[in-house]
Amino acid sequence: MRPSGDDIVILLATEPHGGTLTHCSAVSETVVILCGGRGTRLQEHTRSIPKPLVEIGGRPIVWHVIQIYAAQGLRDFVLLTGYRGEMIEEFVGETAWPEGVSVRCLDTGLDTPTGGRIHRAAGLLEGRRFLATYADVVADIDLDALRAFHASRGAVATMTVVRPELQFGIADLEGDRVLGFQEKPRSEHWVNGGFFVFETAALDAIGPDHVLEREPLEALASAGQLRAFRHEGFWDCMDTYKDAVLLNDLWAAGDPPWKVWDREVSPEGAR
């Protein structure tokens, strides 16, 4: 039997203010955000705080993730915590969220894998479609387009896929002759970009010891029940200290691409 959310969820009070939502009316789906990892490649920050609390522009990156969803009508959020989860709970309780937005924390264990964290939240999710993403990924994604794409395909799950910029520039070759260079082009391959949509049936594929990106998604793909929503707009993952510096620089420049709560979202990517 799946664990009951009523037994293990921690409800945290939110303030009835904290921002203006401009894009669309309230959406019923719950958003679960994976917040339990240690962030070992960000040790300059995460020795003292959990990765979701690493700041971009003076706000924890998980705040930015929540704002991306809230600006597009999502109101119910569950943060699946683990490493230093009490600090995330404190942040949630002290933050003034936009009117109508509820943010809760669920302690899913210190070393629980990503799929296991969602499994532990099943009691909160059964019976209705839900959305899921990572606490360290930001994008100018059009969530209405993502949800419409998912609904039109009739599959159990949809995963947003992206083509990230390569870490290094590349050399264009003809035999052993160098024709020129490309500075950090986009990958030719599509990778998992987070921003998932799941029907409740997906929970049957997610076990307590599963890594979401392995057994569950592979099983859904093998069954023909996983679709890919191609997002070609801005996307970035704060995986390393260098990534954190880049995102802070983009914020400081005054027009960070993922700040969709101040403008219309990018129409790109619905394919």
Question: DSSP secondary structure string, 81-100?
Answer: E-TTHHHHHHHHHHS-PPTT
- Residue 239 dihedral angles phi and psi, to the nearest 5°: -95, -30
Domain containing residue 28: CATH number: 3.90.550.10
Residue 224 domain-assigned (yes or no): yes
Number of domains within the chain: 1
Q: What is the pLDDT of residues 92-145, one digit of tens each?
A: 999 999 999 999 999 999 999 999 999 999 999 978 899 999 999 999 999 999
Would 175 be classed as within a structural domain? Answer: no
Q: Is 87 contained in some domain? A: yes
- Region 60-81: mean pLDDT is 97
Whether residue 267 lies inside any domain: the answer is no
Q: Rounded to a whole number, what is the distance in angstroms from the first to the last CA of the chain?
A: 37
| 32 pLDDT more than 60 | yes
Q: Is residue 90 in some structural domain?
A: yes
Confidence bin at 173 (pLDDT 50/70/90): confident
Look up the domain containing 256 and give its range.
5-161+190-262
pLDDT mean across residues, the chain: 85
CA angle 14, 19, 25 (to 5 degrees): 90
Residue 67: partners with Cβ closer than 8 Å, 6 or more residues away: 19, 259, 260, 261
Task: Note whether residue 130 is domain-resident.
Answer: yes
Which tens digit of pLDDT belongs to each residue from 195-205? 999 999 999 99
Is 166 inside a domain boundary? no
Residue 127: inside a domain:
yes
Sign of CA dihedral 208, 213, 218, 220: positive
Whether the model clears a pTM of 0.95, i.e. scores above it, the answer is no
Residue 11: is its pLDDT beyond 80? Answer: no
